[in-house]
Structure formats: C-alpha cells, structure tokens
Amino acid sequence: MLDVDGDGVVTHAEYLGRVARVASAMGRDASHPVVVASRAAHEAVFADMDGDHDGRVTFEEYRTWVGHDAFERSCRPALGSLFDIADADGDGRLERGEFIRMRTAAGNAEADAAAAFDDLDADHDGLVDRDTYLAGIRDFVTTGTSPMAASYGTGRPLLDTAH
C-alpha cells in the first residue's frame, strides 16, 4: 500500500503522496489547516521510519521500525490526521462514504475499505469513530487481531514475514 510503484522501497514522495491523495479525494485544499497538520505528521513518520536517512524506506527498515511503540509515537498522529481530513464536519466520526473515499485514496482497494468499515462499525449505526478506527489499525498492524484483518485477507500482523 505504501510502495506505490512496487519497486520494493517507499520514497518520501510516495509516503507524503497519501496526504495529497486523501485531501484531494475529500475536497480539501493543500493549505487547509488539517492538511497542513497531516503533512507535518507524515513527515515525522517518514523521518522515524527512514533509519539510514537516505529518503527511502526498505522493508527491513519498516520491519525494524514497526510495532506498538512506533504506532503510538508516530502512526497514531499521522493516521488520525488522515481521518481528520476526511471528517468534514469535525464530529470525530466518518460515514461509510467518507471512510471508503479516505481509505481508497490512501491506497486500499475499495472492496477492502468497504469491508473494513463494516467490520469496524460494530454497532451498525453507519459511523466509525476516530478511536475505533485507530485501534483497529493498531491491532491490525501489530497483532493481526483487528476486525479489519479479515477485510484485508489476513489474520497475521503486517510485520509477520513468515507467510
């Protein structure tokens, strides 16, 4: 999802491109305060992931970096900032269409994003709140136990390379 061109590394442009794609999909101008904040949060994540500071994140660098601490330190703010871009009314919840547009613009297949929404909307009120979304991603990335795991075709954490 992060390696847009499939060359085995995530470049700075690829990583920051998610912010621009989500902002565009949600009709937010690049100068909007939530977009500016998101870009800053993503800059911090990229700097944290890029262990050798060469402007490229290899899978090994990602694997060394990823985990609970990295999620809390830098992913939570960055992923939360994408949620904030999509949250047009600022109520801390996304409707299905907003969620799918955000996740699709971030690089997920539309069917996967729709299934993830359904899995996260446990009370079936047609909304996913920010905390539920971030907890779902944290658990998916670090343990593979998230409701989102089935939507993305795995019950394993993303850092599990044995399969």
pLDDT (tens digit per residue) in 20-68: 999 999 999 999 999 999 999 999 999 999 999 999 999 999 888 877 7
CB 117, CB 127: distance < 8 Å: no
pTM above 0.75, yes or no: yes
**Strand pairing report for 93-95 and 56-58:** unpaired
pLDDT value for 62: 87
Residue 11's pLDDT band (cuts 50, 70, 90):
very high
Count Cβ atoms within 10 A of the Cβ of residue 60 and give its class: 0-12 exposed, 13-18 middle, 19 or more buried. Answer: exposed
pLDDT value for 39: 97
CB 22, CB 84: distance < 8 Å: no
**Paired tokens of 67:** 């985990």
**Paired tokens of 80:** 């939360």
pLDDT value for 131: 94
As a whole number of angstroms, the longest Cα–Cα distance in the chain is 45
Look at residue 158 and tell me whether its pLDDT is greater than 80. Answer: no
**Paired tokens of 48:** 């944290």
The DSSP string of the chain is: ---TT-SSEEEHHHHHHHHHHHHHHTT--TTSHHHHHHHHHHHHHHHHH-TT-SSEEEHHHHHHH-SHHHIIIIIHHHHHHHHHHH-TT-SSEEEHHHHHHHHHHHT--HHHHHHHHHHH-TT-SSEEEHHHHHHHHHHHHHTS-STHHHHTT-SS-TT----
- Residues 73-93: tens digit of each pLDDT: 888 899 999 999 999 999 999
Q: Considering the chain, what percentage of its residues have pLDDT values greater than 90?
A: 62
